[in-house]
Amino acid sequence: MEALAGTEKIIAAIGAVVVFIFAIVGLRGEWPKMGLDDIVTKLLLGLMAFGCCLVILACFGVLPHIGAATPATGV
């Protein structure tokens, strides 16, 4: 199962890099526009790029791993 987890991390990292590139290119194209819908688009593209950075950090194990909550014992 560890080999599968490694494969999934590689696929997630590659996908995050691809989405990050498209988000940055889209953000660069939207940057000079000043309409309300363009501002919302810039915000969403920025958040998408930030999420891709988080995925890449998680793939490399930089972010702390937080497991599922366990029930309290003895209560």
Residue range 1-39, pLDDT digits in tens: 455 578 888 999 999 999 999 999 999 999 999 999 999
Euclidean distance between CA atoms 43 and 30, whole angstroms: 10
Instruction: Give the pLDDT score at 4.
Output: 57
Predicted TM-score (pTM) of the model is: 0.76
Helix, strand or coil, per DSSP, at residue 38: helix
Instruction: Give the pLDDT score at 61.
Output: 84
Side-chain-side CA neighbours of 56 within 13 Å: the count stands at: 14
Instruction: Give the pLDDT score at 1.
Output: 45
Instruction: Pull the structure tokens for residue 36.
Output: 């309300």
